[in-house]
Chain A
Amino acid sequence: MSEVLNYIWLGVLAVFTGPDLFSLFGIGIPVAPIMVLGGLLTGIAVGATPGLAGPMAMAISLPILISIFGFTPDALLPVFGFLIGIMKGATVGGAVPAILFNMPGTPDALMTTLDGYPMAQSGQPRRALRIAQLSSVTGDTFSDIVLFVCAPFLAVVVEAYLDLPEKTALLILSITFIAAVMGSSVGKGLLAVGLGLLASFVGTGQSLTPRLTFGVPELSGGFPLVAAILGVLIVGEIFKGIEDLVRGGNSGRKGAQTLAEGVKDRLQPGDIRRIAPYVGRSALIGTIIGALPGVGSTLAATLGYSYATRRHKARKQPEDTAFGAGAPEGIAATEAANSAVSGANLIPVLSLGIPGNAAAVFLILAADSIGGFNPGPAVFRFTTPEVNPELVIAFGIFTLMSIGNLLNWLIGGSFMRSMGVLARIPQHILLPVVLLITLTAIYVQETSLFALWVTFGFGILGYLFRRSDIPVLPFVIAFILAQPLEQTAREAFAATGANPWFLFSSVTSAVFMLASLAAVVLLGRNRM
C-alpha cells in the first residue's frame, strides 16, 4: 500500500515541480497546472462555438504543444494538461450556445436546449448557465474519482491474470463491441471497423518488404497516424459543413433574443437541493455508460434526461416548472450525465490502451507523438526501488484532472458567461480557416506534402461515411488498435509455440471470444 501512496505522491510532485513557466516573487510557477488552465479556457471557448468541438481544438493544439515542449518525457504532463483542460472545458462550454441561442455547441448538449433555452427566454440565462456548470462539474468530478480508483485496479488485474492469448482476445472483444454498439446498424459499424483495420495494415507488417503499398514508396511507413485520424474525424466534418453551406447558401445566425424584464437572474435558494438528486443519478448513469468503450455522451445525456423526466413527473409539486419549460432539474440531469462520461471514458484507455471516444483518441495520439508513455496495462506496474516513470505520469494525469475540476468549479462559470459572443462567428469563415490550421498542424509533424494528400483522402472518406450514415469513430478506434492487435496476436502465436488455436486455449480467452460473437449477434438483432 505504501508504494501506491508513494507513487501518487510522485505523480502530484511531477505536476507541481515540473519545469517552471516563470517565477513570481521567487516562487516558480510550474507549467503543467498553467497548461490545464489554458486548456480549460480554450475548451470552454471552443465548446461555446458551434461548428468547433473539443476534438478539433485538441487536434489543432497538439502539434503546437509538441513544438513548444519537444519530444521529451518532460513534455508529457504539460501537453496532457492542456488536452485534458480542453476536454473538461468543452463539456461545460457546450451548454453556452444551447442555453443562450437554442443551438447546441456540442452534439451532447442537444438535451440541454430543452430546458436551458426556455429558462434563458424567461429572463434567467445566468441561472441556467450556473446550474449547467454546477451539474457538469459535479458529474465530471464523480466520474474522475471512479476513474482514479478503477483504472489502476483493472490494469493490475489484466496484467496479473491475462497472458498474451487472453490479451489478444480482449482486444478483439473491445473492437467488436465498439462496432456493434456505435452507429445506426451493426453492418455499418463492422464496415467502419474493417476498413479501419485494413487501412492500418497498409505499409506496416513484420517483413522487411512493406505490404499493401501498391509500390508507392511513401506508403512504406503506413498512413501517418495523425493524417488518417484527423482526416476522418476533423477534415471529413469540415467537408460536410462546407457542402451544407454551398447547398444552403446562407450561414446567418439567429439574433439575440429579447429577455423578459424584472426577473431575478441568479441561482435561486433551494436550487442546489432541488437538483442534487438528479445530478447524482445522472452522474452514475454517465459514468457507467462512459466506462464502456464506444458508447457516447449523447446516449448518456439522453438516458439521464429521460430518467429524470420520469422521476420528476412522479414527484412534481404543483408550483414546479415542468420539464421542457425551463426546469432546472432538466438542465442538471443532462449536463451531469454528459459530463460524467468524460472521466470514465478514460478507464479503458489508461488501463487497457483502448480508446473509447474522440478525446481518448487524442490522448493516445499525444502519447504516441511524444513517446515515453504507452497507455496500457503495463503503465500500472508498481515497481520498487526502480521508479516506473510511466506510472508517475499516470498519477500526474490524475492530478491534472483534479486540478481541471477545481478550476472548473472556481472560474468555469464566470468565463462561460462571457463566451456567448462566440456563437456568432460565421461558419463559412470558420470552416476553411480550421481546415488550413489542421493541414498545417499535420505538415509540421509529418513534414511531407504526401501526408496532406493522405489527410485529404481520409477527409473524403470521412465525408462519405457521414453521407452514408457509417459511424466514423469505430473506424478511428480500429485504426489505432489494429497494430497492437496484430502485434499481440503474433506474440501470442509465437509464444505458444505456433499453436493455431491459441485464442481458444484458455477459458478466459474463449469466454472473451464468445462474448464478442454475442455482442454482434445480440446487439445486431436489437437494431434490425
Chain B
Amino acid sequence: MKDIFKPLAVAAAVLAMPAAAVAEGWTPPGPITMMIGFAAGGGADTQARLVAQGLEAKYGWKVLPQQVDGNSGLNLVAELVNAPTDGTAIGMVVSESLTYSMMAAGNPDLQIDKFTALATTASFQTGLVAMAEGNFNTWDKVAAAAKAGEQIRFGTASDRQADVAYLFGKAAGIDFNIVPVKGGAGVMNGLRGGDLDIGWVAGAQSKPVTQGEMVNIASAIPAKLKDSPDAPLVTDLGSKYVLDGYFMFVAPGNMDPEARKALGDAIRDVLNDPTTEANGLVTKVFGGPDVITGEALDAKMSEMNTAAATMLKDAESN
C-alpha cells in the first residue's frame, strides 16, 4: 500500500540527506509553508503537493502544504501578503489571480507589486469547448444558430472568462447568455447535462477531447492548442482578447533575492526532472511543464498585467 507509507518514505529520505541543501548556498531558516489556492483533490492541488514532495526529496527542505482556496485565489494572496519574506512562505495560484482578479477587486494593498513571482509550472490550454455530438461542435454552427435567433448558453468559470466571452460576443455580434459556473469541471458538467451549449475550459478538457467526447471549437490562447491543432484561434474569429495564463508559485513582495533565486531554481529542477511525480502529473494533465523564473517571469507578468488592464477597461466601457 504505497499511499500509506509515502509520508514515511519522504521523512526517511529527508533524514538521510541533510547535507544536500547546504550545497545550494541557501537554505530556508525553518519549514516552508506552501499555501495552495485550489480545492483539495483536483489536478492543480495535486500538482502543488507533488512539487512539495519533490522539494523535500531533492533538497531536504521541509515543506508544509496548506489549503487556502476560494475567491479566485484572492483569499490566498490576502493571507500571503503578510507572511515572512525569508522564503518560508510561498503560495500556488494562477497568474490570473495576480493580474486580472486583483485589479478587478481593486484593493490597493493587494496588487501585483506587493508580491514576488517565483516560477510558473504549466501554461493554460484554454479552449472554447462543446460536445462532439452536439449542435454546436463548430464555430460556424454557433454563429448560424445565433443568427437564427437561438439563445446560446456560454459557460464561464471566472470573471475574466466572462468578460472575454462578453467582448467576444460583442465583436461577433452575438448576445450570449453568459452563465457563471464553478470551475472548468462545472463547465464540462453543464455541457454534458445539456445545461450549457459552449464554454471556456483552461486545460481539463484534454481527456474528453482526445477521447472524442468533446471538441475544442476554438483556441483561446495566442497559439494552436496541443490537442486540437486544427481549431481556429478566437482572435481569428473576431475576439480581441485571449485567455492565456499559468499555474505559478508566488511569495510576498520584497523577498530576499537569494531565497527567490534558490526557490525558483528548485521548483524548476523538480518540474523539469522526468523522474519526479510532479513532472509526470504535469505532463499527463497540463500538457507538460512550462517553467519561467526570474527576470523573464517579471517581464511576462508585467505583459499579462497590461493585457488585463486593457481588457478590463474595454469591458467596463461597454
Contacts and interface: CB of A to CB of B under 8 A. Distances in A.
A457 interface: no
B296 interface: no
Interface stretch (B17-25, B173-181, B259-267, B282-290): B173-181
A222 interface: yes
Contact of B3 (A19, A487, A497): A19
A243 interface: no
A70 B45 contact: no
Contacts of A69: 3-4
Interface stretch (B115-123, B134-142, B206-214): B206-214
B208 A386 contact: yes
Contact of A208 (B71, B193, B211, B212): B71
A215 interface: no
Contacts of B108: none
Interface in A479-496: 487, 490-491, 494-496
B182 to A, nearest CB: 6
Interface string A160-195: 000110000000000000000000000000000000
A491 B195 contact: yes
B1 A491 contact: no
B64 to A, nearest CB: 9
A495 B41 contact: no
B78 A72 contact: no
Nearest to B6: A70
Interface residues of B, number: 48
Greatest chain A CB density within 10 A among B4, B71, B189, B194 is at B71
B115 to A, nearest CB: 17
B46 interface: yes
Interface string B256-275: 00000000000000000000
Contacts of B101: 208
A73 interface: yes
Contacts of A217: 78-79
Contacts of A307: none
Contact-residue size bin, chain A (C-beta under 8 Å from the other chain): 35 or more
A371 B39 contact: yes
B62 interface: no
Interface string B30-61: 00000000011110011001000000000000
B46 A71 contact: yes
B70 A491 contact: no
B213 A386 contact: yes
Interface string A269-304: 000000000000000000000000000000000000
A16 to B, nearest CB: 14
Contacts of B39: 371
A19 B107 CA distance: 47
Interface in A22-48: 22, 31
Contacts of B148: none
Interface string B161-175: 000000000000000
Contacts of A494: 153, 177-180
A322 to B, nearest CB: 54
A163 B40 contact: no
A208 B213 contact: no
A227 to B, nearest CB: 13
Interface string A202-218: 00101011100000010
A20 interface: yes
A369 interface: yes
Contact of B71 (A75, A220, A370, A385): A220
A71 B179 CA distance: 29
Contact of A371 (B3, B41, B153): B41
A159 interface: yes
Given A208-B159, A491-B180, A385 B41 contact: no
A341 B178 CA distance: 42
A21 interface: yes
A447 B3 contact: no
B49 A71 contact: yes
B70 A222 contact: yes
B19 to A, nearest CB: 29
A369 B180 CA distance: 23
Contacts of B193: 159, 377-378, 381
Contacts of A490: 180
A69 B192 CA distance: 30
B153 A495 contact: yes
A487 B181 CA distance: 7
A164 B186 CA distance: 13
Contact of A209 (B41, B105, B192): B105
A251 interface: no
Interface in A78-123: none
B104 interface: yes
Interface in A302-337: none
Contact of B69 (A68, A159, A221): A221
B146 to A, nearest CB: 13
A20 B193 CA distance: 35
Nearest to A447: B66
A74 interface: yes
Interface in A493-523: 494-497
Contacts of A70: 3, 6
A208 B72 CA distance: 8
A159 B192 CA distance: 10
A68 B7 CA distance: 9
12 contacts: A70-B6, A71-B45, A72-B41, A204-B70, A208-B72, A208-B105, A209-B107, A369-B40, A371-B45, A381-B192, A386-B213, A491-B190
Q: Which 8 residue pairs of A and B lie closest in terms of their CB atoms, listed nearest first?
A: A371-B41, A208-B105, A221-B70, A386-B211, A494-B179, A71-B40, A71-B41, A495-B153
Given A68-B4, A70-B6, A221-B71, 14 more contacts: A20-B1, A31-B1, A206-B180, A208-B71, A209-B105, A209-B107, A217-B79, A221-B68, A371-B39, A447-B67, A490-B180, A491-B180, A494-B153, A495-B177
Interface of A: 19-22, 31, 68-75, 159, 163-164, 204, 206, 208-210, 217, 220-222, 369-372, 377-378, 381, 383, 385-386, 447, 487, 490-491, 494-497
Interface of B: 1-4, 6, 39-42, 45-46, 49, 66-72, 74-75, 78-79, 101, 104-105, 107, 151, 153, 159, 177-182, 189-190, 192-196, 207-208, 211-213
